[in-house]
Each structure stands twice: as structure tokens, then as C-alpha cells.
Amino acid sequence: MTEHPFDQAIALAQSDIRAGQFTGATSPHYWNMVGPFGGTTAAVVLQSVLDHPDLLGLPIALTVNYAAALVAGPFEVLAIPVRTNRSTQHWTIQITQPDDGGAPQVNTTATVVTAARRETWGTNDLPMPSVPRPGEVARFSSGPAGVAWMGQYEMRPVSGVIPGTWDGSGDRSESIVWLRDAVPRALDFASLACLSDMFYPRIWLRRAKHVPAGTVSITTYFHAGVAELESVGTGYLLGRAVGQQFHNGFFDQSAQLWSEAGALLATSNQIVYFKE
């Protein structure tokens, strides 16, 4: 069976597993103009923790800081469990590539928190929006040239599509869209981390102006366990993203991902730079 493109993109080889050292390589299938799609970088970070033999529990929080764009080619990942408690574990992660002189250059830093969850009371104060079912929504046809990663996903926008005219007439920043892999793949934590970064910069919608923009840092919180992810399988997720504050070259946007059954699986917040 042919390996799924996403699994190829996040595949890591163990160079020194006890020291938390891994190697990987960027994928042309998930390219995003000047570097890899940030969602796949986040997935690589999380995968290094999931592959580590000292892992405790399941992911509950992931923060990825994009210090610089990865370039095409190999990279190294260092994942270190800096503190392990009875039920939580705290990790630091770095991704490096050699600079022109061959010296390691950090381009991504990250932290991950994992936890051994236990059964407790729970509720959801953020219900899924009432929207048409995926089959009732037209599929987004294609992304812009040079953005290969968009072709790896099936997107069915309910609202907030990328403006067709960049005329400065925007007045809202919310998008709602059904999402899943274009080539069917069962949902897991790595793909959920990637999907949390699926939403284009909110400033493009809010202003209807195509200004340069890119994520500086994203934090994703995982609200699901293995059973909840397995129940999704290869089905759709409903994603919602909205901007919050746009100020002096930076803005933040939040996002939520629900299963078709209405379970809130993950939430994220990111800070994004933009230029006039």
C-alpha cells in the first residue's frame, strides 16, 4: 500500500532516540509558497514527541514558534522531556537546518504538554455552529499557484471564503468550513495539529486586501482522546476561525474544530504578522 502523503511529510528517522534526536525532510506535497505549510511543521513537532520512548499520556497542548521558514531538504529535530510529573509531562522541541556555512540554525522552537487523562465530569460550552452538512456544501476547487498543500485537503466552505476581489471592502473575519484529507486518512493527533492551522490569515478576509502575512506562533489545545479521534475516522471536521485584534503589524486569530457529531476536538490561537 502506498504511504499517505501526510505520513511521508511527517516521517521521522531516529538518529539517537534516547537523546530525542530525529531527522526528517520537507515534502513538496505540503509546500506553501516560501516554505512548508506551517501545519505540517506543527505535526512534525508533535510526532517527535509521540515517537519518543519516554512519552507519558496523550497531547493536551502544543505551541509552535516559527523563527524562520524551513528550506527544502532535510532537517533535524530535538525533543526533550524536561519535566515528568505524576500525570503531566513537559517537552521542549527544536527543528534545525544547516546554514550556508553548515552550522545548525534553529528555525522552529516548540513546547508540548502531554497528560495521562482520567475520567471526570465534563461539558462543552462551545457548541458546534448550525450549518449545512458537508454534502450540501460545494467543494473549494483549487488554491493559488505555488501552494501545493491546499491540494492535499478537501475543503467545503460554508462562509468566509477567500475574497474574489481585493478591493478593501471586507467587514468581517469569520470563516466556517468543512475539512478532511483529500486522500482518505484516519484522524490522529498529528493530523489534528495540522488541521488546526488550516485557516488563511484573517486579515485577508477582514480587509479584502492581499497583504503579506504569516504565522509567528500557534498554540493548539487538544480536547479529545484516542477513542474520540477513532470515531471520526476519515470523516469531516467543521472548522471555524475568526480574527480578534489587528494592531501595529500583528493580529491574533482563534479557531475551533468539531467532529461531524458535534464533539469539540481542538481549539487554537495564533499570532500573525502582516505588512502594509
Mean pLDDT taken over the chain = 95
Alpha carbon 246 to chain centroid distance? 21
Three cell numbers at 192? 489534528
Residue 255: pLDDT band by 50, 70, 90 thresholds? Answer: very high
pLDDT of 251 strictly over 80: yes
What pLDDT, in 10s, does the model give residues 173-228? 999 999 999 999 999 999 999 999 999 999 999 999 999 999 999 999 999 999 99
Residue 1: pLDDT band by 50, 70, 90 thresholds? Answer: low
Which pLDDT belongs to residue 18? 79
Handedness of CA 186, 188, 194, 196 (dihedral sign): positive
Q: What is the pTM of this model?
A: 0.96
What pLDDT, in 10s, does the model give residues 77-131? 999 999 999 999 999 999 999 998 889 999 999 999 999 999 999 999 999 999 9
* CATH number assigned to the domain covering 138-274: 2.40.160.210
Instruction: Give the percent of the chain with pLDDT over 90.
Output: 91
What pLDDT, in 10s, does the model give residues 156-174? 999 999 998 999 999 999 9
pLDDT of 8 strictly over 90: yes
Phi and psi at residue 119, to the nearest 5°: -70, 125
Which pLDDT belongs to residue 235? 98
Residue of higher predicted confidence among 16 and 142: 16
Across 58-62, average pLDDT:
98
Cite the residue boundaries of each domain of the chain with CATH code 2.40.160.210: 5-115, 138-274
**What is the CATH T-level fold of the domain 5-115, as seen in this structure?**
Porin (2.40.160)
Q: Are 235 and 259 in contact (CB under 8 A)?
A: yes
